[in-house]
Chains A and B, each alone.
Chain A
Amino acid sequence: MPDWGYQIHKDRQIDFDRNDRRLAQYIRKYEPTFKLCISCGACTATCSTGNLTEFYNIRRLNILLMRGEIDEIWSQISKCMFCGKCELVCPRGVSTRKVILLMKEGIQKIKENEQI
């Protein structure tokens, strides 16, 4: 059969009711400052990783995390160098560095079907 090059696009809509929000709950539990993010983007502006590599945006990863969209986080999170500049500039005192660490930990647990 000829390949016409058509593909089925993944739905771009965030389906909040279907999404898995366990990771967000896990991070809220172990790093409560996570709840205080107001998406100002100061972390993203100072982030060396974000400035030097494509698609890495810590502000956006926080939002996706809260919405339960973890696939994109998984594909990006390993780029973080844990320099901690994001945490220094945060006006709401979010421990962003700890949040990223917990994201990595939590995703690992979900992938390995562990209870989180």
Chain B
Amino acid sequence: MKKKVVVIGAGVAGIEAAAHLALMGYDVTILEKGERIGGHVLQWDRLFPTQRPASEIQDYLNQQIRNPNIRLIAQTCLIKNERNNEQFNLELSDGNVLTADAILVSTGFDLFDARIKEEYGYGIYDNVITSCDLEALFSSEKPITNAQGEPPSRVGFIHCVGSRDEKVGNTYCSQVCCVTAVKQAIEVREKLPRSEVFCFYMDMRMFGLRFEELYKESQEKWGVNFIRGRLSEASENLDGSILIKVEDTLAGRPLKMRVGLLVLMVGFVPSKGTLTIGKLLGLDFTPDGFLKPADEYIDGNSSNIPGIYLSGTCKAPKTIPDTLTDGRAAALAISEYLASTS
């Protein structure tokens, strides 16, 4: 009889792992609490560093899931887990019960709720938006305007919103926001050639292949400006524009500037699903609230419980290529485990 794997979460990592497990001949069931597969990719228009349409990744995932060994159960959550020797009995929110020989947790991340960083004015001032809102605006193909319906003459991007900030309890770097800011800054300049764009950063973390080149291109070709300094507070002018105050740390002097639109680069937080499922299954957490692998160096997909595996951004912030790679790695780890059990 085919061994059964249950994958929790139909995002990038979950689908990629499921596809490879299905190719190896396992019987795979994916549980997804939402209606659609793809996770956060659905919310994005184009991807760094090459401006590739996110829909192409979505198409790839739709293709990957087409395997008769894969069954998708959408709009369903796991509510109870009982272990019976080497098998798991999983009770679902629709009342059904599944058995599994191994579980893969790929419950992902949520975007940081920018309202928590109250001094930045998200949810208070109309012209303060998040990187995700801007992406929705790009997807809509509507012209980029401020809340007053005019194209903003100056756009500010604030890096590290909800990342590297003990005041909101997130000490880690979310990795992808720096390069996303550079990508979005270029897109704003592309769509609004007469606008000025300023990125406010603490460090520019251009770690990936072609990221540094994109950063240079943003300066050279698109004239994007970079100011090193973290926003202290934003306030609204009478005309709805936003006054921001930073220290220009390279000049060693405080600086104030008016922008027509302020974009907050929101970081990763462990998703609500990651917290719920982690607790339900009895998994270990890192101090930041992500799921903790058995060994971060050499066994990044095993959890503290035999038979339960971890993949993707439930463990830490990751780019899409890294998440896909991690999904494939998890599939291999699970197949090795299943081969060793009876």
Contacts and interface: CB of A to CB of B under 8 A. Distances in A.
Interface of A: 12-17, 28, 32, 35-36, 38-39, 59-60, 63-64, 66-67, 69, 92
A30 to B, nearest CB: 15
Interface stretch (B98-106, B246-254, B273-281): B246-254
A42 B93 CA distance: 60
Nearest to A62: B250
Contacts of A66: 225
B43 interface: no
* Candidate in B250, B254, B256 with the most chain A CB atoms within 10 angstroms: B250
18 contacts: A12-B253, A12-B254, A13-B254, A13-B256, A14-B248, A14-B251, A15-B256, A16-B258, A17-B256, A17-B258, A32-B220, A35-B219, A38-B204, A60-B252, A63-B248, A63-B250, A64-B251, A69-B251
Nearest to B223: A35
A87 to B, nearest CB: 17
Interface string B268-310: 0000000000000000000000000000000000000000000
Contacts of A92: 216
A98 B294 CA distance: 56
Contact of B256 (A14, A32, A36, A64): A14
10 closest Cβ pairs, A-B complex: A16-B257, A14-B255, A13-B254, A63-B251, A63-B250, A39-B250, A35-B219, A17-B258, A14-B253, A36-B219
B251 A60 contact: yes
B163 to A, nearest CB: 21
B254 A14 contact: yes
Given A59-B250, A92-B216, 20 more contacts: A12-B253, A13-B253, A13-B254, A13-B256, A14-B248, A14-B251, A14-B253, A14-B254, A16-B255, A16-B256, A16-B257, A17-B256, A17-B258, A28-B223, A36-B219, A39-B228, A60-B251, A63-B250, A64-B251, A67-B255
Interface string B207-240: 0000000001001100101101000000000000
B185 to A, nearest CB: 13
A73 B248 CA distance: 17
Nearest to B221: A35
* Candidate in A15, A16, A60, A66 with the most chain B CB atoms within 10 angstroms: A16
Contacts of A13: 253-256
A60 B220 CA distance: 20
A17 B154 CA distance: 11
A76 to B, nearest CB: 13
A86 B252 CA distance: 21
Given A15-B256, A16-B257, A67 B251 contact: yes
A66 B227 CA distance: 10
A63 B225 CA distance: 11
A69 B294 CA distance: 54
Contacts of A32: 220
* Candidate in A12, A13, A69 with the most chain B CB atoms within 10 angstroms: A13
A30 B257 CA distance: 26
Contacts of B226: 38
Contacts of B253: 12-14
A36 B254 contact: no
A28 B228 CA distance: 20
A40 to B, nearest CB: 10
B220 A36 contact: yes
A83 B325 CA distance: 50
A61 to B, nearest CB: 10
A76 B114 CA distance: 43
Contacts of B257: 16-17
A20 B248 CA distance: 17
